Amino acid sequence: MTDAARPNEPDDTRLRWTSVPRWPAPELPAAASYLACCFGAAGERQASALLEAADREVPVRTETFADHWDAATEPALRRLIEESFTGVRVILAGPEAMVMRAAALARRLGATSEELVLMAADAVSGAAGGGYVTGRAARRVFCVACRAPFDAVAALNDSVTCPGCAATLAVDRRFSRPQAAYFGWPTGLELHQ
């Protein structure tokens, strides 16, 4: 596909006005304890680099998971979060798709944004405000036709096929944090007004 065929090719300036997750350099907040949930080796490296700034007195628990979501991920994460005490800061590091999905689970279990530190290993470091995951990457896409999420590998604005209803969807620059997914809109249905 040529650039001319993709006039909406996102750049960092445009993405600032969308809900695409932005990834500024994280800071380690003070805490009573830390729980680091790392997805893949890259996530593990990121989390351990961040935790070098931690106070030596503060207990740290680090758990490493695969870099893709499987049947074991949710129960294991759920157990770790449910066993945590108020005062913990939960560090989630790894591919954006995993980090956002884990963050959505943590919020459902009662964590607030103040208690979460999120780091995307696949974000392209951008301007001062932080980078984005713009290229081809693992992404969760929410099909607005059949209202179900699925996993895809795609860049923003790419076309993907929904495994549920076979619709051809464009990966939108709108991201739902509770669904941890990009909206996927059926293509070829543009409104003409």
88 vs 167, which CB is nearer to another protein?
Answer: 88
Residue 126 Cβ, how far from another protein at the closest point, in Å? 28
Contact, 155 vs 20, CB < 8 A?
A: no
Name residues contacting another protein, limited to 74-133 (CB under 8 A): 81-82, 84-90, 109-112, 114-115
Contact, 164 vs 143, CB < 8 A?
A: yes
47 vs 111, which CB is nearer to another protein?
Answer: 111
Count of residues in contact with another protein, rule CB under 8 A: 18
77 vs 133, which CB is nearer to another protein?
Answer: 77
Query: Can you tell me the distance from the alpha carbon of 118 to that of 27, in angstroms, rounded to the nearest whole number?
Result: 10
The length of the chain is 193
Please tell me whether residue 57 binds another protein under the rule CB under 8 A.
no
In the stretch 17-36, what mask flags binding to another protein with x, by CB under 8 A? Answer: -------------xxx----
- Judged on CB neighbours under 10 Å (0-12, 13-18, 19+), 179 is middle
User: How wide is the angle at C-alpha 109 spanned by C-alphas 81 and 46, nearest 5°?
Assistant: 45
- Residues that bind another protein in the complex, under the rule CB under 8 A: 30-32, 81-82, 84-90, 109-112, 114-115
